[in-house]
Structure 1
């Protein structure tokens, strides 16, 4: 793959009060970079409502923030990317395992892929990294507060 799946321009640190505000802030940057199409914002918001992506992080280790893995249909995506989003304050997502459960999420990996099965591959690769990394390594990642630091940290660790 010649295209970079992780890019410093698509690593974010976001202050938002809810999912819609977070998605809007990230969408504006992704759209300006030509990575997503018109309609992406509405679709990612709706898909999160219909198919929640929050994940309780207790299985990864104690003291880690809950995670989310937002994505939408490939027709709204122009380029493949993993978009790490550090949330300065937790935002409520519903659990992918139990959609009735609300989780305060501190870190989101937005998965962009223009292929039908692409998100599954990106999710699998991201989850493999998260499950194999030690708790101290993940705490270090989730504490970073600058986009470039997040990119530098993940660039050598996520393999594609």
Structure 2
């Protein structure tokens, strides 16, 4: 699942009060790692408002947290990366399927791709991985609260 898009320095565990807090904390870490440009934070917040990325996990298995796949335009990305983010408490996202529906999200996969439409490929790869994984393995992944353990888990596949 890696193809050099996964790195232990960009696997996060975040305790966020809300979506903006989550994005701010992720942005500060990603900026420090040199993965995103100035303007990324405003753009990811704006894009999430216009094009929600929350997804119910009910089709993946029972007792799994809902997911989100936030991203923004490639001009704000310096390096391609899949950024797994374990949320210590759920953060509300709107559903990408039905934006009127609010979902408590427990795990995010932030998609960083510097190409104009690159996040579609990264989203497709991530969704393929999730849909083919055993639900018990996903439960194990989504329960991890150590960034290195999240990286190690995803790297082994």
TM-score by length of 1: 0.95
The answer to whether structure 1 residue 137 and structure 2 residue 151 are counterparts is no
Secondary structure of the 1:57 match is: coil
Match of 1:108 in 2: 108
4+ residue runs of structure 1 moved beyond 4 angstroms?
Answer: none
What CA distance in whole angstroms lies between the structure 1 residues aligned with 2:116 and 2:110?
Answer: 16
Matches within 5 A, 1:39-50: 39-50=39-50
What CA distance in whole angstroms lies between the structure 1 residues aligned with 2:17 and 2:102?
Answer: 15
Number of paired residues?
Answer: 155
What RMSD, in angstroms, separates the aligned Cα atoms of the two structures? Answer: 0.8
What CA distance in whole angstroms lies between the structure 1 residues aligned with 2:156 and 2:112?
Answer: 20
What CA distance in whole angstroms lies between the structure 2 residues aligned with 1:107 and 1:88?
Answer: 9
What CA distance in whole angstroms lies between the structure 1 residues aligned with 2:131 and 2:138?
Answer: 10
Match of 2:85 in 1: 85
Secondary structure of the 2:21 match is: helix
What CA distance in whole angstroms lies between the structure 2 residues aligned with 1:117 and 1:40?
Answer: 16
5+ residue gaps in structure 2? none
Measure how far apart 1:33 and its partner are. 1.0
Measure how far apart 1:156 and its partner are. 2.0
Match of 1:123 in 2: 123
Measure how far apart 1:153 and its partner are. 0.2
Measure how far apart 1:116 and its partner are. 1.2
Match of 1:63 in 2: 63
